[in-house]
Amino acid sequence: MQLYMAARLRRASVLAALVGSALMGATTLGTPTAQAATARPSAGRSASSSELRDVSGSASAAAPAVTAHTSNQAWLFSYPAAPSGPWQSPTNISFNSGAGAVGTLSYSSPYAAARDSNGNLWVYYQNGGVWTPLNVTAAVGGVTIAGDPEVLDGVVWARNANGHLIRFSVDGNNVWTAQDLSAATGVSITGDPSPTLNPSEGVFVRDTSGNLQLIGISPGGSWVSTNITAATAGSPTIASNPYTDGTGVIYARGTNNDLLQYFVSGGSWVYFNVTTATGQTVDPVAGGVTYSRNAAGHLLQFFVTGGHWVYFDVSAAVGGVTIAGDPATYNGWEYGRTAAGHLVEFYVSSGWQSLDLTNVTGTSIDADPVATSLGVLAS
């Protein structure tokens, strides 16, 4: 999975408005610009008392033995009870399924979604305080998936082995159904989808030709596609999953590892090359859009100051801690997976700091983390 965001916390109501208007060829959305990102200090985020973490587990306490979880279980690293509290051992939320999880998980209340090694889609939810598994693939008659699922508001989006976009949804009677949107629109996809705020209104995808596409419901009620790449003058094709920062702006990585930004201006789709503005490529686009990993494994922060895009090397600021996977962000903290499978938290406390949560909890991870309102999910 190439980036991320909700439960990557990247949706906003303005995006839903953008989806509907884009499908109709017009928009009332306030025009985002290349300088629309949240400005950050040039030295990184400012610290506040609510952002401090207890790092004593990595320094003054003996670190527990690290367990490599080759069984591909779904782990929930719950946030400390207080901002300055210690991290505890994670919870295996897939324990009762007997199936485990592979790849990157997703979460949107009430479901965490995962794929097992056989391509079955599972959702996990809390029932009486106990994590309960449901095999959605079995519930819909055997529809399997090949990519990492994205869940939002009870709807799960995923790619199957044939490159078809599948929409899994549950009704008020808890009956799950699967809908093949590639069959409905003629658009096959690669990579993983990125849904909008309202799951019924659409999803951003990368098609098999590298075009950025928006698949949503037309005013007439049918599923249709909008080729944003074709509609954007001079736009290159993309090589990553598309994602939004929650302001109606979409980001993706170009085939030359450029960070690309897409938005609507004057009723038309346009794009901006952030890499051209900053001189920094990404490999791949990742994290909360403004956080990405470069080819050297450094966690980079992109932001706007003085009306110009700039970047900050977070890895360099914390002594060279690099990541191998795609970072995730939640509420001001960033999380990444190292080449050794360690889960690392990056945070601000008198400057940028890092905390190796694998050394603290004794639990390593195999796939990229997802930062959610419950905690950090990883398999």
- pLDDT (tens digit, 9 = 90+) per residue, 171-211? 999 999 999 999 999 999 999 998 876 655 689 999 999 99
290-294 LR contacts (CB < 8 Å, sep 24+): 290/37, 290/38, 290/40, 290/245, 291/327, 291/329, 291/334, 292/3, 292/259, 292/327, 293/323, 293/325, 293/326, 293/327, 293/336
Residue 1 lies in a domain: no
Spatial distance between the Cα atoms of 260 and 206, rounded to a whole number of angstroms: 13
Domain extent for 297: 13-378
| Residue 110 preceded by cis peptide, ω within 30 | yes
Residue 3 lies in a domain: no
Pairing of the two strands 375-378 and 130-135: unpaired
Residue 179 lies in a domain: yes
For residue 174, what is the domain's CATH number? 2.130.10.10
- Residue 222, beta-bridge partner list: none
The total of other beta-carbon atoms located within 10 Å of residue 228's CB is 23
Q: How many domains does the chain have?
A: 1
The total of other beta-carbon atoms located within 10 Å of residue 18's CB is 28
CA 83 to each of CA 121, 258, 354: distance values in angstroms, whole numbers, following the listed order: 34, 36, 15
Low-confidence ranges of the chain (pLDDT < 50): 1-64, 66-70, 284-289
Residue 8 lies in a domain: no
Contact (Cβ atoms closer than 8 angstroms) between residue 145 and residue 182: no
On the 0-12 / 13-18 / 19+ scale of CB atoms within 10 A, 181 is buried
Residue 7 lies in a domain: no
Residue 131 lies in a domain: yes
Spatial distance between the Cα atoms of 173 and 107, rounded to a whole number of angstroms: 21
Residue 2 lies in a domain: no
pLDDT at position 55 = 34
Contact (Cβ atoms closer than 8 angstroms) between residue 150 and residue 195: yes
Residue 5 lies in a domain: no
Three-state DSSP at 62 gives coil
CA 237 to each of CA 150, 245, 254: distance values in angstroms, whole numbers, following the listed order: 23, 20, 6
pTM here? 0.79
